[in-house]
Structure 1
Amino acid sequence: MTRGVAPACLSMFQHGRHNWTDVSCEQKKEIWVSLHNMQGKRCAYCECDIGIQKHHIEHFIQKGRVPSETFNWANLFGSCCIQNTCGDLKDRVGVYTHSNVLKPDIDDPDDFLLFVLDGTITPLKGLTGIKEVRAKTTLRILGLHHENGQLRNMRRRAVAGYIQTAESFAELSAEDPENILGWREELEEELRVIEALPFSTAIKHMFKAFLDCR
């Protein structure tokens, strides 16, 4: 996820003189254009499709706790409104250290989290120190862990649609380890397409699991 140039409308607002309620519907539409350019039509946290889910402009550092971050472009993401997860939960869990939550435009979930075939997410094995703290804190603060049944089922369904494809590539890997048939290029293209899909990280981790076990 790469953050682009800030929407021009944000320059019209200043902390201390304006509130988020001063941002008009048209200006929020302009902000959404920039958010979609950065993250696609996916929740920045759980990667669900916010083209079909209710969604909102999310302040990574809550504007109620740090008002100076209200109009900071680097602090804005698009989040789903699924109950008890992502932005909906983050603003209700109480005080926590913001830097201990993975920031979607900076941190790579592959470095911290393992997405499992059954739709669960766990901290990556072998993490220690601050990396382990950040992985566990992110799962808790955003409600991404396995106890959230709705998100877990959504991820599991997304992954299930690609299991047969992953199995086919795993078979090719076993039969043609030297890539004489060029299957690795096909796999790379498949993964590029998946990159833009909802729950892409979960799907990619499933592919890796099938290929690593061969």
Structure 2
Amino acid sequence: MRKLQRPGAPAVLEELTRRGATWSGVTRTEKKLIRRPLEAMSMRGKSLFCNYCESKVQPARGHIEHLTARASDPALEFVWGNLFLSCDSNAHCGHFKDSSRGVAYSPDLVIHPDVDDPDNFLQFFSSGEVQPRQGLDPGSQTRALTTIQALNLNDPDLVQARAGLARQARAMVFDYLDSIEALTPTDRAELFADEIAAFAGSPFFTTVRQFFIEG
């Protein structure tokens, strides 16, 4: 999960609210108008990524996700800040969160990546697991745990994929481990910035970024 910059709301949301529409009555064209700025928010390089797990979302795939489920609060059905782009997996993220397999959670406690900086809450380890950061205050600890559990961010497939990417990053470091020690902190930071940039188009980018910066 990474920090997102939310663009302005599409005008169609105001129109849908004005006419008292429900989500089931939204046309395909209207959904495209809603999805377009969500895709802009979810783009990194030339690829789309899930706003929750950072897996790659293929063009015209994924779904418009209500962070607070429509069944929980219909008043938020067309509220722009409640809409995200999620992958289509049933094992984690949006579909899992609101399924019968999901855990009970308070939507207010889930990290909103367009408002909160997930880096302040979540630590992605080279093992592929994600855990609450050490030293969080109780409220932030609860939010981090709620987010991980509600979205099932430690789903085995996600853990395995993130661990594989971390192994790639570790291999790059081992290639020039001896020379790194001779670098100044500034030069080391520049080197790592270049390595991070090399993974910019990869899924699960936060795992690699935290590995280089914090590992």
Specify if TM > 0.5. Answer: yes
CA distance in 2, matches of 1:173, 1:46: 31
Aligned residues: 206
SS at match of 1:161: helix
- Does the 8 Å CA contact 1:47/1:200 hold for their aligned counterparts? yes
Cα drift, residue 11 of structure 1: 2.0
Structure 1 match to 2:82: 75
1:91-130 matched pairs, under 5 angstroms: 91-92=98-99, 93=102, 95-130=104-139
What is the TM-score of this pair, normalised by structure 2?
0.85
* Stretch of structure 1 that moved more, 19-28 or 193-202: 193-202
What is the TM-score of this pair, normalised by structure 1?
0.85
Structure 2 match to 1:48: 55
- Does the 8 Å CA contact 2:104/2:150 hold for their aligned counterparts? no
SS at match of 2:17: coil
Give the alignment partner of residue 200 of structure 1, picking from 205, 210, 214: 205
Paired AA for residue 156 in structure 1: A
**CA displacement, residues 133-175 of structure 1 (integer Å, 9 cap, x when unaligned):** 1111111111012xx2111112122333322333456544411
SS at match of 2:41: helix
Paired AA for residue 205 in structure 1: Q
CA distance in 1, matches of 2:66, 2:76: 8
SS at match of 1:33: helix
Cα drift, residue 184 of structure 1: 3.2
Structure 1, gaps ≥5 residues long = none
CA distance in 1, matches of 2:185, 2:130: 33
* Stretch of structure 1 that moved more, 162-171 or 4-13: 162-171
Structure 2 match to 1:31: 34
CA distance in 2, matches of 1:53, 1:165: 34
SS at match of 1:58: strand
1:49-68 matched pairs, under 5 angstroms: 49-51=56-58, 54-68=61-75
**CA displacement, residues 29-59 of structure 1 (integer Å, 9 cap, x when unaligned):** 2222211111211111100001279511000
- Does the 8 Å CA contact 1:15/1:70 hold for their aligned counterparts? no
Cα drift, residue 176 of structure 1: 1.4
CA distance in 1, matches of 2:130, 2:71: 29
Q: Does the alignment pair 1:7 with 2:16? A: no
Q: State the Cα RMSD in Å.
A: 2.3
In structure 2, relative to structure 1, the CA distance for the partners of 1:8 and 1:110 (3 Å cut) is same
SS at match of 2:123: strand
Cα drift, residue 90 of structure 1: 1.1
Q: Which has the higher contact order (CA 8 A, sep 6+)?
A: 2
